[in-house]
Amino acid sequence: MFCLHGGLGPNVNHVNDIVDIHRPVSPFSNPIVYDILYTDYVENDPLPVSENKSKDYFNLNNTFKFSDFKVDRFLQETGLNMIIRSKECTFDGYQRSRSGAVTTITSCTDYMGKYGN
């Protein structure tokens, strides 16, 4: 299993991409760190990775969403079976993709005081 906060942006293709990050690091100075923190999962996108302008809160033009195409490629190349992430709110505490390869977990209730989860 591969656990991370956000997801697989265009700069993340293998676990070694993360292992090789020089520390300490700022997410704004390292595109790999930014990807694993701020990339969102979308199940039905025809592209492996695409821009996510609606979530570009810092106006950096580098916020992305990843699809099952990216997930499948990443899992095949790494020999892993599943991605577990936590960035987005889920109403039941967790949400699994149809394929079962991606699980999103939310550990807070009433996220931001507006979701009622």
Kindly tell me if the per-residue pLDDT of 112 is higher than 70: no
Q: How far apart, in Å, do the first and last CA atoms of the chain sit?
A: 26
Question: Is 66 a residue whose pLDDT tops 80?
Answer: yes
Number of domains, the chain? 1
What CATH code is carried by the domain that includes residue 48? 3.60.21.10
Instruction: Give this prediction's pTM.
Output: 0.83
Do 30 and 5 touch, CB atoms closer than 8 A?
no
Domain that holds residue 56: 2-111
Answer whether residue 83 is part of any domain.
Answer: yes
Helices (H) and strands (E) in the chain, counts: 3, 7
Q: What is the three-class DSSP state of 76?
A: helix
Q: What is the pLDDT of residues 20-45, one digit of tens each?
A: 898 998 878 899 999 999 999 998 88
Average pLDDT over residues 84-95: 83
Phi, psi of 32 (to 5 degrees): -70, -45
What's the rounded Cα separation, in Å, for the pair 105 and 102?
A: 10
In a domain, 116, yes or no: no
The pLDDT > 90 percentage for the chain reads 52
* Confidence tier at 101 by pLDDT (50, 70, 90): very high
